[in-house]
Amino acid sequence: MDATDLQHADLYVNRELSLLEFNRRVLAQATDETLPLLERLRFLCIASSNLDEFFEIRVSGLKQQVAYGAVQRGPDNLTPNEQLARIAEIAHGLVNEQYRVLNEQLFPALAREGIRFLKRSEWNAKHASWVRSFFNRELLPVLSPIGLDPAHPFPRILNKSLNFLVSLEGRDAFGRTTGVAIVQAPRALPRIISIPATHTDGPNDFVMLSAIIHARVDDLFPGMRATGCYQFRITRNSDLFVDDEEIDDLKRALEGELSQRRFGDAVRVEVADDCPPEMRNFLLTQFKLTERDLFQCNGPVNLTRLMAVPDLVDRPDLKFPGFTPSIPARLARNPDVFEVIRKGDVLLHHPFESFAPVVDFVRQAAADPDVLAIRQTLYRTGSDSAIVKALVDAARAGKEVLVVIELRARFDEAANIELADDLQEAGAHVVYGVVGHKTHAKMCLVVRREGRQLRRYVHVGTGNYHARTARAYTDYGLLTCDAAFGEDVHKVFQQLTALGRAGKLKKLLQSPFTLQKAILDFIHREAVHARAGRPARIIAKMNALIEPQVIKALYEASSAGVKIDLIIRGMCSLRPGIGGVSENITVRSIIGRFLEHTRVFYFANGGDEQVWLSSADWMGRNFFNRVEVCFPIEDKRLRQRVVNESLHNYLSDNAQAWILQADGNYKRPSASAGKARSAQLRLLADLCG
């Protein structure tokens, strides 16, 4: 490879394979004995859920490309078919590892703590008696077995639902001997069931729904005998397709697509590992899949459902210790959020600092008679959102409330449609952004009359207006009444709701117009400083880095002598440590208790340091297909806080960090002098009450 060819395929890691490597790092948390046991189980469930979504969206998209005959290659030069082949190899290994960790590590460790998942072979007479009673009372009335014959074709199988393929012998009342039936488990049924203390000896004994159905399957086919019962699950294409050029009502179009999501094309089949070859082949033929799409599972086919276990077990000693997010001192001393903001910008670092001030900001705006208008973007909010309630109250109070709801927030589409209806009924103006561009920016604008002037108050952030994820994701929010900030945010809302050109922004960078170009300019500027002997440094923290032009610019800056440290949680297509290209670049991923979600960009800029926060990762979709904002932290004290808390702190982490190697693999760093340093634990200690 010519080292000067910065577009050579060997310099780029495939995004899909990088995403699978991220999931490998998540799964590794389940094996970490320094973590609380039930939290290790959660990490296993998260890895399983991530893999589900990977097949629903990424694999299904590649399969569609193959079906359409697409031969387009990415920067890594892999065709869709080549990617699918590599994905299959890695994904099968990951699935096998999931079940190995579950069966060889987690289940035994949980059993030692009195948390048992009893197999059928472990049931005693009391267990069997309770299972029979539970089946007859709770399951038999709602299960609908379907014997397959010309009058009973193979049923439509819901995406990710639990099903059983049953082989039978004997004749039924009509003399039929088809020999094969399908049993579908309704989604309303719990997958993990606690055995009452009256029927077991353990303090926390559970049985799987699949085990109960398997044990009592003969009861579903009176007069016949089940010779085999094999659980299976189908993963389907769950990406919604809406033709931006053909629709005239985005909401109505999405409502139509949502009903079909459960029955998209099958992309993966999971079956019990004891399912015989002829039954496996029957399923593959039925769903038009190949051996590459078949995953055999040594345990429940949906590991994600084990996520319920920590909530069913009252063992705080096996979970992360609780914490109380702090309230910044200025807000704690003065409940009037507008007065506090007028005296200076407020920076919030979630989850270590509370999300409550953001809620109070909207609530006070809704109740304040001097507030004339509220404008808000909503991407994900969660159920029973206090912010949505405040917006409803504001609209009912006669304030001008405008909400930009992103209906296409993946897997939150139905919730956002319902949210839009509720806000409209309250009298709020609701729009859905710009067709063809997801509105991913996190902004709230409050217009308040103060004497003879109108003042704009703004909240901008890196994360969603979602109280639950604000306790689980690391994010920043900035509260300010800086006039230029307010004018910029006002202009972005104009772009989202009206027609015409909003004009140049003074301080904010915005996708799809200025953000990518600005990032490229900042990177090139560091290279110029380095060549001139001035301070040059780049530190960037984000979820993903895959945009080829930005990667090429980083390679060029590294070659010019710029030291570049990247903290990338998930996908990273850049290869660090390559001589003559990226030897000045390091890449690390932090996987810990909290999901790293902040986007922080630092540029030394010859000594005139700049720090930016953003809702956008360095991905093509964020730069070109979404509405995003990136904003500077101008207060010197707050800027230093961001650098210390989210950059230097994370670069010193040797407990939860993974270091990307030039070959695309990740390795754990060794703790220096035996001392482990966790960035998240340090923030919990420094910022929480």
Residue 392 has pLDDT above 90, yes or no: yes
Peptide bond connecting 512 to the previous residue in cis, omega within 30 degrees of 0: yes
CA–CA distance, 231 with 208 (Å, rounded to integer): 12
Q: Tell me, what DSSP letter sits at residue 149? A: B
- C-alpha angle with apex 585: 583 to 591, nearest 5 degrees? 135
Q: Residues of CATH 3.30.870.10 domain(s) within the chain?
A: 329-506, 511-687
List, for residues 489-508, the tens digit of each pLDDT value: 999 999 988 866 667 999 99
Residues facing residue 371 across a β-bridge? 448
CA–CA distance, 293 with 51 (Å, rounded to integer): 13
Please state which CATH class domain 9-318 belongs to.
alpha beta
Is 440 catalytic? The answer is yes
Q: Which residues contact 111 (CB under 8 A, 6 or more apart)?
A: none
Q: Give the strand pairing for 595-596 and 473-480.
A: parallel
Radius of gyration over alpha carbons of the chain, in Å? Answer: 27
The answer to whether residues 681 and 656 touch, using CB atoms and an 8 Å cutoff, is no
CA–CA distance, 271 with 231 (Å, rounded to integer): 6
Which of 501-505, 547-551, 673-677 is most confident? 547-551
Position 417 scores a pLDDT of: 74
Position 260 scores a pLDDT of: 52
CA–CA distance, 512 with 437 (Å, rounded to integer): 8
Q: Which structure tokens are listed for 287?
A: 């769903």
Full 3-state SS string of 227-296: EEEEEEEEEECCCCCCCCCCCCCHHHHHHHHHHHHCCCCEEEEEEECCCCHHHHHHHHHHCCCCHHHEEE
Position 243 scores a pLDDT of: 43
Position 112 scores a pLDDT of: 97
Nearest to 595 by CA among 656, 649, 515: 656
List, for residues 84-134, the tens digit of each pLDDT value: 999 999 999 999 999 999 999 999 999 999 999 999 999 999 999 999 999
CA–CA distance, 658 with 77 (Å, rounded to integer): 26
Minimum mean pLDDT among 251-265, 340-354, 447-461, 511-525: which range? 251-265
| Residue bearing the bigger pLDDT, 297 or 3 | 297
Residue 323 has pLDDT above 80, yes or no: yes
Q: Residues of CATH 3.30.1840.10 domain(s) within the chain?
A: 9-318
Position 380 scores a pLDDT of: 82
Position 674 scores a pLDDT of: 67
Overall pTM > 0.85: yes
Which band of pLDDT confidence, cut at 50, 70 and 90, is reported for residue 411? low
Q: Tell me, what DSSP letter sits at residue 469? A: G
| Residue bearing the bigger pLDDT, 356 or 241 | 356
Q: Which fold has domain 329-506?
A: Endonuclease; Chain A (3.30.870)
List, for residues 227-255, the tens digit of each pLDDT value: 999 999 999 988 754 444 444 454 554 44
Average of pLDDT values for 51-75?
89
Q: Which of 127, 440, 466, 597 is catalytic?
A: 440
CA–CA distance, 527 with 552 (Å, rounded to integer): 13
Q: Which structure tokens are listed for 433?
A: 């952004």
Position 689 scores a pLDDT of: 67
564: amino acid identity, one letter: I
Buried b (16+ CB within 10 A) or exposed e, 461-473: bbbbbbbebbeeb
Q: Which residues contact 425 (CB under 8 A, 6 or more apart)?
A: none
Average of pLDDT values for 266-282?
96
Q: Which fold has domain 511-687?
A: Endonuclease; Chain A (3.30.870)
The answer to whether residues 426 and 395 touch, using CB atoms and an 8 Å cutoff, is yes
List, for residues 598-615, the tens digit of each pLDDT value: 999 999 999 999 999 999
Position 253 scores a pLDDT of: 47
Residue 3 has pLDDT above 90, yes or no: no
